[in-house]
Amino acid sequence: MAMKFSTKNFTDRTKDNISDDFMRKAVAGAQERLHGRRLDAAEELGNWEEWRSHGEEIRQHVLENLDFYLHQLSENVAERGGRVFFAKTAEEASVYIRDVVEKKEGKKVVKSKSMVTEEINLNSVLEEAGCEVIETDLGEYILQVDDHDPPSHIVAPALHKNRDQIRDVFAEKLDYNKTSKPEELALHAREKLRKEFLAADIGITGCNFAIAETGSISLVTNEGNARLVSALPKTQITVMGMERVVPSFEEFEVLVSLLTRSAVGQKLTSYVTALTGPRGEGDVDGPEEFHLVIVDNGRSEILGTEFQSVLQCIRCAACVNVCPVYRHIGGHSYGSIYSGPIGAVLSPLLGGYDDFKELPYASTLCGACTDACPVKIPLHELLHQHRQVIVEEEGRAPISERLAMKAFGIGASSNPLYSMGAKVASTAMRPLTKNDRISKGPGPLKEWTDLREFPAVGNQRFRDWFYDQKGGK
């Protein structure tokens, strides 16, 4: 799957998804659970803000010195016998990987979850070369078995599917004849996939963080599939976005703590694995050959711009889990493998405004994403920035907020998304309100108010609204 997976336009995509009742309930439920767990995990620490600030300073320092840390990383990977390939484009990356697989005469490839391999369209390239490619993360496996249904959430890719749909897919494609109980479905997948792990020649993984000082890569999962992918096949290929590097284990542990807490509300996930080079001398398991592919694919063009901070992202999906628009339209509406606020900021940068110009408008600028982000990316400001670039620099007609919101199926006056209040607005807007409607506003709200009147921001901020919705919690 490439980054863009739909040829339908934004409005049609959104319509399709809003009419999917299960999906919408599933998204809402998942948001509440994940968000609640994240808050518990953050609260427990007592000083979450300080943790976020530390996460931010680490990520900013790395980006400012990215060439140095990638140099150090590659030196240390090579010193431990690994092979490093720097890929400027998606094609360079996928062709290199295909060549490695062909040279190894690899037939069966097992993969653990990796957004960047989706971005570089790796599966199709390998399949065209005659390989069998098997996704092993349970959610991704379900999607793959279901004729490559696209992911709808960066942490829980099959969120939009219910158990009966999964049972039907398994029955049709995998000779499954049991019930739709998640335990039974998962057991079936376990048994099928265990055989694949043992038979695979090539393991392909993503990389949550690479550690420059030691030349290590790390994999964070609950299922353990990434451990199997990196323990059993003879050749391991790890693909990382170039920004995913940290100086040393000291920073690694902080970012992992932020990631697991923010993504799933766990202090650590079941498995965090740090791998350095291929198997050591005398080792029996682990790969004989290790390749690290470091992918640019548009990232360097973000450096040095007002969007640089988006590269701080650690892909935790906390922003997705609090986003009222994501809640309403679901992941597929974004038409990009990256959905939610992070997707709305990142997809136009990596994939261009032509395909993704509506996404920055898929936001109420409420700021809940920014508040949730463990590395303090000012997401809603970046969304606003996109709108300005679209209008000013790209010379395109501004997209009407009203049309965007209409596309979400959100009635202009009746929707809670507006009244819950934009963060920008709740501080800046008061004096400009008359009769609880805003007619003209400066700054971020300009395009909105130029185009339409909309209900003024209530005193209730999104966060508070969210809790109220949850039943006073």
Partner 1 sequence: MTGTIRNRDTFLTEIATRLGREPKLNVQKPVWKHQPQRAVLKDASADELLEVLRNQCLQIHTDLIETKLADLPKTLAEAVKLYGGGPLSLWKDERFDKYGLTNLIENEWPAENIEVNSWDTTLGEKNIELAEQANIGITFSDMTLAESGTVVLLSSSDKGRSVSLLPTNYIAIIPKSTLVPRITQAADLIREKIDNGEQVPSCINFITGPSNSADIEMNLVIGVHGPVKAAYIIVNDC
- Binding range to ligand SF4, per CB under 6 A, among 23-31, 170-178, 311-319, 326-334: 311-319
Q: How far apart are CA 346 and CA 360, in angstroms?
A: 10
Binding residues among 31-60 for ligand SF4 as defined by CB under 6 A: none
Out of 375, 383, 425, 429, the only residue in the binding site for ligand SF4 (CB under 6 A) is 375
Nearer Cβ to ligand SF4, position 313 or 410? 313
Out of 100, 264, 318, 456, the only residue in the binding site for ligand SF4 (CB under 6 A) is 318
Residue 34 identity? L
Q: How far apart are CA 340 and CA 336, in angstroms?
A: 10
Q: Which two tokens stand for residue 73?
A: 């990383």
139 binds, among partner 1, ligand SF4, none (CB under 5 to 8 A by kind): partner 1
- Binding range to ligand SF4, per CB under 6 A, among 61-69, 225-233, 375-383, 413-421: 375-383
166 binds, among ligand SF4, partner 1, none (CB under 5 to 8 A by kind): partner 1
315 belongs to the binding site for ligand SF4 (CB under 6 A): yes
**Phi, psi (rounded to 5 degrees) for 222:** -105, -25
Binding mask 328-347 for ligand SF4 (x = CB under 6 A): --------------x-----
The string of DSSP letters for 329-386 reads H-GGGG-BSS-HHHHHHHHHHHH-HHHHTTGGGS-----HHHHH-TT---HHHHHHHH
List, in order, residues 6 or more apart from 176 with CB less than 8 Å away. Answer: 167, 170, 185, 188
Residue 377 beta carbon to ligand SF4: minimum distance, rounded to whole angstroms: 5
314 belongs to the binding site for ligand SF4 (CB under 6 A): yes
> By the 8 A CB rule, do 229 and 203 touch?
yes
Ligand-binding annotation for 207, yes or no, is no
Residue 401 beta carbon to partner 1: minimum distance, rounded to whole angstroms: 32
Residue with tokens 């991704």: 140
Q: Minimal CA–CA distance to 14: which of 400, 358, 466?
A: 358
Nearer Cβ to partner 1, position 83 or 446? 83
Out of 368, 377, 390, 424, the only residue in the binding site for ligand SF4 (CB under 6 A) is 377
Q: How far apart are CA 81 and CA 58, in angstroms?
A: 28
Nearer Cβ to partner 1, position 78 or 129? 78
316 belongs to the binding site for ligand SF4 (CB under 6 A): yes
The string of DSSP letters for 186-215 reads HHHHHHHHHHHHHH-SEEEE--SEEETTTT
> By the 8 A CB rule, do 269 and 281 touch?
no
**Phi, psi (rounded to 5 degrees) for 177:** -130, 25
Residue 393 beta carbon to ligand SF4: minimum distance, rounded to whole angstroms: 23
Ligand-binding annotation for 131, yes or no, is no
318 binds, among ligand SF4, partner 1, none (CB under 5 to 8 A by kind): ligand SF4
Give the number of other Cβ atoms within 10 Å of residue 168's Cβ.
Answer: 15
Ligand-binding annotation for 373, yes or no, is yes
Nearer Cβ to partner 1, position 274 or 412? 274
Ligand-binding annotation for 319, yes or no, is yes
Nearer Cβ to partner 1, position 41 or 445? 41
Give the number of other Cβ atoms within 10 Å of residue 164's Cβ.
Answer: 11
Strand 216-221 relative to strand 271-276, pairing: antiparallel
Q: Which two tokens stand for residue 99?
A: 């060549």
Which residues sit at the interface with ligand SF4, rule CB under 6 A?
262, 313-319, 342, 372-375, 377, 379
Q: Binding site for [4Fe-4S] cluster: what residues are annotated?
A: 313, 316, 319, 323, 366, 369, 373
